[in-house]
Amino acid sequence: MTKTLLTESISFEENPLYENIISDILEKGFSICDSFIEEHLVDLLREKIKALYNQSGLKKAAIGNKVNESIEKTIRGDYIQWIDEQKADYVEQRFFECISDFKNYLNKTCFMGLLHQEFHYAVYPAGTFYQRHIDTFQNDDRRKLSMVCYLNDHTWKTTNGGELALYPENLPEIIVHPLPGRVVIFESQRLEHEVKEVINEERLSITGWLKTR
Ligand SMILES: O=C(O)CCC(=O)C(=O)O
Ligand SMILES: [Fe+2]
């Protein structure tokens, strides 16, 4: 037992990127990171989401959770597909490795008790949006951290719309453009946010949650 603990403490290496994200979240409740996922992996994930969308593999997203869901176009208009980790392909496995590495770091340094994760692809076609909300359900408070990873390519223009607006409690509204490879991480139970209407192009992302219990 002592031996294991000793090895773990020796093998721990401080990660400056993760430390930045953690201090942002402690200070403001959110963090915006442009180097969380390497560019090549973002390219491969973009190919994957496009292929799924073109094969009609994504379904209109619902409101609520799996027990209590309804489709409400006036609240959200995106198309999603949950990623089954058991059936993940090579590209998705590499994505989950990045997520798990971060999750393990949080558990080691912040004792967050994060046990599970759930992620889905999301496409917002032009004309769609997601109204201001928080990411926890009335009957389920296990979601602790929300993570949104943008998969748009370098031709994405700020005039395409689809900005993520964050509404931190004691700060002015923050506008985040969904730029390629950008990852936004925030407290699921506290931070209100919104996806503004997409004006042009399809807005591509993977969104997910790190959960307790
Ligand atoms: O895509 C985004 O920027 C945010 C998506 C979101 O808020 C959600 O899926 O709950
Ligand atoms: Fe959300």
- Ligand 1 atom closest to Cα of 184? 3
What gap in Å lies between CA 168 and CA 211, rounded to an integer? Answer: 21
Residue 54 pLDDT greater than 80, yes or no? yes
Domains and CATH numbers, the chain: 16-212 (2.60.120.620)
Note the pLDDT of residue 1: 47
- Mean predicted confidence (pLDDT) in 175-189: 97
Note the pLDDT of residue 68: 64
Pairing of strands 130-133, 192-195: antiparallel
Note the pLDDT of residue 7: 57
The ipTM of this complex is: 0.99
Output the CA–CA distances (angstroms, integers) from residue 90 to 41, 43, 93, 177, 193, in the order listed: 10, 14, 5, 28, 32
Residue 193 pLDDT greater than 90, yes or no? yes
Where does the pLDDT of residue 57 fall: very low under 50, low under 70, confident under 90, or very high at 90 and above? confident
Q: Which ligand is nearest to the CA of 184?
A: 1
Q: Which residues of 96-134 are buried (b: 16+ CB within 10 A; e: fewer)?
A: beebeebbebbeeeeebebeebebbbbbbeeebbbeeeb
Which are the contacts of 171, defined by CB distance < 8 A and separation ≥ 6?
A: 28
pTM confidence score: 0.91
Ligand 1 residue neighbourhood (C-beta within 6 Å): 122, 130, 135, 148, 164, 193, 195, 205, 207
Residue 192 pLDDT greater than 60, yes or no? yes
Both tokens assigned to 114: 């994060």
- Mean predicted confidence (pLDDT) in 143-160: 97
Q: Which ligand is nearest to the CA of 165?
A: 1
- Mean predicted confidence (pLDDT) in 49-73: 80
Where does the pLDDT of residue 209 fall: very low under 50, low under 70, confident under 90, or very high at 90 and above? very high
Kindly report which listed range (98-112, 132-146, 175-189, 199-213) carries the lowest average pLDDT score: 132-146
Note the pLDDT of residue 61: 85
The candidate with the shortest Cα–Cα distance to 77, out of 120, 119, 148, 126, is 126
- Mean predicted confidence (pLDDT) in 61-68: 70
